[in-house]
Amino acid sequence: MEQLMRDFFLFLSKNKTLTKWAKRYGLRFGASRFVAGETIEEAVRVIRQLNEKGLAVTVDYLGEFVDNEQEANEMARHCLEAIEAISREKLNSQLSLKMTSMGLDISDELVMRNMRRILDAAKQRGVFVTIDMEDYSRCQKTLDIFKMLKKGYDNVGTVLQAYLYRTEQDIEDLKPYRPNLRLVKGAYKEPPEVAFPDKKDVDENFKKIIKMHLLNGNYTAVATHDDAIIEYTKQLVKEYNIPNSQFEFQMLYGIRPERQLELAREGYTMRVYVPYGTDWYGYFMRRLAERPANVAFVLKGILRK
Protein backbone atom coordinates (compact mmCIF):
# COMPACT_ATOMS: atom_id res chain seq x y z
CA MET A 1 0.00 0.00 0.00
CA GLU A 2 2.81 2.41 0.93
CA GLN A 3 4.59 1.74 -2.37
CA LEU A 4 1.34 2.33 -4.28
CA MET A 5 0.89 5.70 -2.57
CA ARG A 6 4.50 6.62 -3.29
CA ASP A 7 4.11 5.76 -6.99
CA PHE A 8 0.81 7.66 -7.16
CA PHE A 9 2.26 10.89 -5.76
CA LEU A 10 5.40 10.61 -7.91
CA PHE A 11 3.12 10.22 -10.95
CA LEU A 12 1.15 13.32 -9.91
CA SER A 13 4.38 15.30 -9.40
CA LYS A 14 5.08 15.14 -13.16
CA ASN A 15 1.65 16.37 -14.27
CA LYS A 16 2.07 19.71 -16.07
CA THR A 17 -1.65 20.57 -15.99
CA LEU A 18 -1.79 20.18 -12.21
CA THR A 19 1.42 22.22 -11.91
CA LYS A 20 -0.24 25.12 -13.77
CA TRP A 21 -3.36 24.79 -11.63
CA ALA A 22 -1.29 24.87 -8.43
CA LYS A 23 0.54 28.02 -9.57
CA ARG A 24 -2.78 29.72 -10.20
CA TYR A 25 -4.38 28.87 -6.86
CA GLY A 26 -1.41 29.39 -4.57
CA LEU A 27 -0.18 27.63 -1.44
CA ARG A 28 -3.39 25.99 -0.30
CA PHE A 29 -4.23 22.41 0.60
CA GLY A 30 -1.44 21.99 3.13
CA ALA A 31 1.55 22.89 0.96
CA SER A 32 2.47 25.80 3.25
CA ARG A 33 3.60 23.20 5.79
CA PHE A 34 6.54 22.39 3.51
CA VAL A 35 6.98 25.60 1.47
CA ALA A 36 8.03 28.90 3.08
CA GLY A 37 5.97 31.14 0.81
CA GLU A 38 5.84 32.40 -2.74
CA THR A 39 8.22 35.39 -2.46
CA ILE A 40 11.76 35.96 -1.21
CA GLU A 41 10.35 38.30 1.45
CA GLU A 42 8.23 35.46 2.86
CA ALA A 43 11.21 33.11 2.71
CA VAL A 44 13.44 35.62 4.54
CA ARG A 45 10.96 35.77 7.43
CA VAL A 46 11.02 31.98 7.77
CA ILE A 47 14.83 31.80 7.51
CA ARG A 48 15.23 34.46 10.20
CA GLN A 49 12.91 32.55 12.54
CA LEU A 50 14.86 29.33 11.99
CA ASN A 51 18.20 31.12 12.51
CA GLU A 52 16.92 32.54 15.80
CA LYS A 53 16.27 28.97 16.95
CA GLY A 54 19.87 27.98 16.20
CA LEU A 55 19.16 26.33 12.84
CA ALA A 56 21.13 26.94 9.64
CA VAL A 57 19.29 27.01 6.30
CA THR A 58 19.67 26.30 2.62
CA VAL A 59 17.04 28.10 0.53
CA ASP A 60 15.69 26.95 -2.82
CA TYR A 61 13.56 28.85 -5.35
CA LEU A 62 11.35 26.09 -6.74
CA GLY A 63 10.99 25.47 -10.46
CA GLU A 64 9.88 22.57 -12.64
CA PHE A 65 9.59 21.99 -16.40
CA VAL A 66 11.86 24.85 -17.51
CA ASP A 67 12.06 24.40 -21.28
CA ASN A 68 13.07 27.77 -22.75
CA GLU A 69 15.91 30.25 -22.34
CA GLN A 70 13.72 33.05 -21.00
CA GLU A 71 12.42 30.88 -18.15
CA ALA A 72 15.92 29.64 -17.30
CA ASN A 73 17.23 33.21 -17.14
CA GLU A 74 14.28 34.18 -14.94
CA MET A 75 15.06 31.28 -12.57
CA ALA A 76 18.69 32.43 -12.40
CA ARG A 77 17.46 35.94 -11.57
CA HIS A 78 15.49 34.57 -8.62
CA CYS A 79 18.63 32.80 -7.38
CA LEU A 80 20.60 36.07 -7.60
CA GLU A 81 17.79 37.78 -5.69
CA ALA A 82 18.02 35.12 -2.95
CA ILE A 83 21.81 35.52 -2.70
CA GLU A 84 21.40 39.29 -2.36
CA ALA A 85 18.75 38.83 0.37
CA ILE A 86 20.93 36.37 2.32
CA SER A 87 23.80 38.85 2.25
CA ARG A 88 21.72 41.96 2.94
CA GLU A 89 19.79 40.41 5.85
CA LYS A 90 22.93 38.65 7.22
CA LEU A 91 21.14 35.29 7.27
CA ASN A 92 22.78 31.97 8.11
CA SER A 93 21.75 30.47 4.80
CA GLN A 94 23.13 28.80 1.74
CA LEU A 95 21.46 28.42 -1.68
CA SER A 96 20.27 25.22 -3.36
CA LEU A 97 19.24 24.98 -7.00
CA LYS A 98 18.37 22.49 -9.72
CA MET A 99 20.38 22.75 -12.92
CA THR A 100 17.34 21.89 -15.05
CA SER A 101 15.91 25.22 -13.86
CA MET A 102 19.12 26.90 -15.08
CA GLY A 103 18.77 25.41 -18.58
CA LEU A 104 20.40 21.96 -18.28
CA ASP A 105 17.93 20.42 -20.75
CA ILE A 106 18.18 23.35 -23.19
CA SER A 107 21.90 23.91 -23.85
CA ASP A 108 25.28 23.51 -22.17
CA GLU A 109 26.12 27.14 -22.95
CA LEU A 110 22.97 28.41 -21.21
CA VAL A 111 23.35 26.36 -18.05
CA MET A 112 27.05 27.24 -17.71
CA ARG A 113 26.36 30.93 -18.23
CA ASN A 114 23.65 30.96 -15.57
CA MET A 115 25.68 28.87 -13.13
CA ARG A 116 28.69 31.19 -13.47
CA ARG A 117 26.52 34.28 -12.91
CA ILE A 118 25.13 32.72 -9.74
CA LEU A 119 28.46 31.41 -8.42
CA ASP A 120 30.22 34.73 -9.08
CA ALA A 121 27.57 36.62 -7.10
CA ALA A 122 27.56 33.99 -4.35
CA LYS A 123 31.36 34.03 -4.06
CA GLN A 124 31.38 37.82 -3.79
CA ARG A 125 28.85 37.65 -0.92
CA GLY A 126 30.21 34.56 0.85
CA VAL A 127 27.24 32.31 0.02
CA PHE A 128 27.67 28.57 -0.58
CA VAL A 129 25.66 26.97 -3.42
CA THR A 130 24.57 23.32 -3.61
CA ILE A 131 23.54 21.81 -6.95
CA ASP A 132 20.64 19.45 -6.25
CA MET A 133 20.69 16.04 -7.90
CA GLU A 134 17.74 15.15 -10.09
CA ASP A 135 16.70 11.90 -11.77
CA TYR A 136 19.13 9.27 -13.06
CA SER A 137 19.00 10.48 -16.67
CA ARG A 138 20.61 13.77 -15.59
CA CYS A 139 23.06 12.39 -13.03
CA GLN A 140 26.18 12.09 -15.19
CA LYS A 141 25.68 15.47 -16.85
CA THR A 142 25.16 17.13 -13.46
CA LEU A 143 28.40 15.64 -12.12
CA ASP A 144 30.33 16.58 -15.27
CA ILE A 145 29.24 20.21 -14.94
CA PHE A 146 29.94 20.17 -11.20
CA LYS A 147 33.52 19.03 -11.88
CA MET A 148 34.01 21.85 -14.40
CA LEU A 149 32.63 24.44 -11.98
CA LYS A 150 34.66 23.10 -9.06
CA LYS A 151 37.87 23.97 -10.91
CA GLY A 152 36.93 27.65 -10.76
CA TYR A 153 34.82 27.93 -7.59
CA ASP A 154 35.27 26.72 -4.03
CA ASN A 155 31.75 27.75 -2.98
CA VAL A 156 29.88 24.98 -4.80
CA GLY A 157 28.81 21.48 -3.78
CA THR A 158 26.42 18.86 -5.07
CA VAL A 159 24.28 15.88 -4.02
CA LEU A 160 24.66 12.11 -4.31
CA GLN A 161 21.81 9.62 -3.86
CA ALA A 162 22.20 6.41 -1.87
CA TYR A 163 19.63 4.46 -3.86
CA LEU A 164 21.75 4.49 -7.03
CA TYR A 165 24.21 1.63 -7.60
CA ARG A 166 26.70 4.06 -9.15
CA THR A 167 27.06 6.33 -6.10
CA GLU A 168 29.91 4.46 -4.40
CA GLN A 169 32.00 4.85 -7.58
CA ASP A 170 30.93 8.50 -7.90
CA ILE A 171 32.36 9.21 -4.44
CA GLU A 172 35.68 7.70 -5.52
CA ASP A 173 35.64 9.66 -8.80
CA LEU A 174 34.93 12.95 -6.99
CA LYS A 175 37.57 12.41 -4.30
CA PRO A 176 40.30 14.48 -6.07
CA TYR A 177 37.93 17.47 -6.12
CA ARG A 178 37.62 17.52 -2.29
CA PRO A 179 33.86 18.02 -2.68
CA ASN A 180 31.32 19.24 -0.16
CA LEU A 181 28.51 16.72 -0.70
CA ARG A 182 24.96 16.39 0.53
CA LEU A 183 24.17 12.68 0.82
CA VAL A 184 20.52 11.65 0.51
CA LYS A 185 18.51 8.46 0.03
CA GLY A 186 16.89 9.72 -3.20
CA ALA A 187 13.32 10.77 -4.02
CA TYR A 188 12.76 9.88 -7.68
CA LYS A 189 11.22 6.71 -9.09
CA GLU A 190 14.04 4.80 -10.76
CA PRO A 191 14.10 1.32 -12.37
CA PRO A 192 15.81 -1.60 -10.58
CA GLU A 193 18.46 -1.59 -13.34
CA VAL A 194 19.99 1.57 -11.82
CA ALA A 195 18.68 1.78 -8.23
CA PHE A 196 18.31 -0.51 -5.22
CA PRO A 197 14.62 -1.51 -5.09
CA ASP A 198 14.66 -2.50 -1.38
CA LYS A 199 14.81 0.04 1.44
CA LYS A 200 17.21 -2.05 3.53
CA ASP A 201 19.75 -2.05 0.68
CA VAL A 202 19.36 1.71 0.24
CA ASP A 203 19.94 2.20 3.98
CA GLU A 204 23.07 0.03 3.94
CA ASN A 205 24.45 1.90 0.94
CA PHE A 206 23.63 5.22 2.64
CA LYS A 207 25.75 4.21 5.64
CA LYS A 208 28.54 3.03 3.36
CA ILE A 209 28.76 6.30 1.41
CA ILE A 210 28.55 8.43 4.57
CA LYS A 211 31.53 6.52 5.98
CA MET A 212 33.48 6.70 2.69
CA HIS A 213 33.04 10.43 2.26
CA LEU A 214 33.79 11.31 5.89
CA LEU A 215 36.90 9.10 5.98
CA ASN A 216 38.05 10.75 2.75
CA GLY A 217 38.24 13.86 4.92
CA ASN A 218 35.56 15.77 3.03
CA TYR A 219 32.67 17.88 4.31
CA THR A 220 29.52 15.78 4.52
CA ALA A 221 25.91 16.88 4.82
CA VAL A 222 23.84 13.90 5.98
CA ALA A 223 20.34 14.73 4.75
CA THR A 224 17.89 12.40 6.47
CA HIS A 225 14.90 12.23 8.79
CA ASP A 226 15.77 8.63 9.72
CA ASP A 227 16.87 8.24 13.35
CA ALA A 228 18.84 5.07 12.52
CA ILE A 229 20.98 6.96 9.99
CA ILE A 230 21.40 9.90 12.38
CA GLU A 231 22.56 7.58 15.19
CA TYR A 232 24.89 5.73 12.81
CA THR A 233 26.51 9.06 11.84
CA LYS A 234 26.90 10.11 15.48
CA GLN A 235 28.61 6.81 16.38
CA LEU A 236 30.81 6.91 13.28
CA VAL A 237 32.20 10.39 13.95
CA LYS A 238 32.79 9.46 17.59
CA GLU A 239 34.64 6.27 16.65
CA TYR A 240 36.92 8.04 14.15
CA ASN A 241 37.29 11.33 16.07
CA ILE A 242 35.77 13.32 13.22
CA PRO A 243 35.11 16.91 14.34
CA ASN A 244 31.62 18.41 14.20
CA SER A 245 33.04 21.03 11.83
CA GLN A 246 33.39 18.35 9.09
CA PHE A 247 29.73 17.38 8.83
CA GLU A 248 26.17 18.51 9.38
CA PHE A 249 22.66 17.11 9.42
CA GLN A 250 20.03 18.37 7.01
CA MET A 251 16.24 18.02 7.05
CA LEU A 252 13.36 19.45 5.07
CA TYR A 253 11.36 22.43 6.26
CA GLY A 254 8.16 21.23 7.92
CA ILE A 255 9.32 17.69 8.65
CA ARG A 256 10.37 16.70 12.20
CA PRO A 257 10.95 20.28 13.44
CA GLU A 258 11.39 19.12 17.06
CA ARG A 259 14.11 16.66 16.04
CA GLN A 260 15.85 19.47 14.17
CA LEU A 261 15.93 21.58 17.34
CA GLU A 262 17.20 18.61 19.40
CA LEU A 263 20.16 18.09 17.08
CA ALA A 264 21.01 21.80 17.17
CA ARG A 265 20.86 21.76 20.98
CA GLU A 266 23.21 18.75 21.00
CA GLY A 267 25.81 20.93 19.27
CA TYR A 268 25.49 19.63 15.70
CA THR A 269 25.07 21.91 12.70
CA MET A 270 21.46 21.34 11.68
CA ARG A 271 20.54 22.83 8.30
CA VAL A 272 16.93 23.14 7.14
CA TYR A 273 16.12 22.94 3.43
CA VAL A 274 13.66 25.81 2.88
CA PRO A 275 11.89 25.98 -0.49
CA TYR A 276 9.80 28.90 -1.70
CA GLY A 277 8.18 30.14 -4.91
CA THR A 278 5.00 29.76 -6.94
CA ASP A 279 6.11 26.52 -8.64
CA TRP A 280 5.72 24.39 -5.49
CA TYR A 281 3.50 21.59 -6.78
CA GLY A 282 6.09 19.01 -7.93
CA TYR A 283 8.16 19.45 -4.76
CA PHE A 284 5.03 19.09 -2.60
CA MET A 285 3.98 15.85 -4.33
CA ARG A 286 7.45 14.34 -3.82
CA ARG A 287 7.23 15.13 -0.09
CA LEU A 288 3.91 13.29 0.08
CA ALA A 289 5.47 10.38 -1.82
CA GLU A 290 8.42 10.14 0.57
CA ARG A 291 6.36 9.82 3.74
CA PRO A 292 2.69 8.77 3.61
CA ALA A 293 2.39 10.21 7.15
CA ASN A 294 2.70 13.64 5.50
CA VAL A 295 -0.64 13.03 3.78
CA ALA A 296 -2.35 12.89 7.18
CA PHE A 297 -0.86 16.28 8.13
CA VAL A 298 -2.12 17.77 4.88
CA LEU A 299 -5.64 16.35 5.28
CA LYS A 300 -5.83 17.77 8.80
CA GLY A 301 -4.79 21.17 7.44
CA ILE A 302 -7.47 21.09 4.74
CA LEU A 303 -10.18 20.07 7.18
CA ARG A 304 -9.27 22.95 9.47
CA LYS A 305 -9.70 25.53 6.68
Q: Which residues are catalytic?
A: 132, 182
CA atoms of 15 and 4, how far apart (whole Å): 17
Q: What is the residue-wise DSSP string for 267-289?
A: T--EEEEEEESS--HHHHHHHHH
The H-or-E segment that residue 249 falls in is strand 247-252
Buried b (16+ CB within 10 A) or exposed e, 79-98: bbebbebbbeeebbbbbbbb
DSSP characters for 24-56?
HH-S-TTGGGT---SSHHHHHHHHHHHHHTT-E
Among 149, 184, 155, smallest CA distance to 167 is for 184
Helices (H), the chain: 2-13, 16-25, 40-52, 69-88, 108-125, 139-150, 167-174, 199-215, 227-239, 257-265, 281-290, 293-304
Residues 6+ apart with CB under 8 A from 300: none
Please tell me the distance from the alpha carbon of residue 21 to that of residue 293, in angstroms, as a whole number: 24
Distance CA 245, CA 35 (A): 28
Distances 168 to 147, 165, 195, 211, 216 between C-alpha atoms, Å: 17, 7, 12, 11, 13
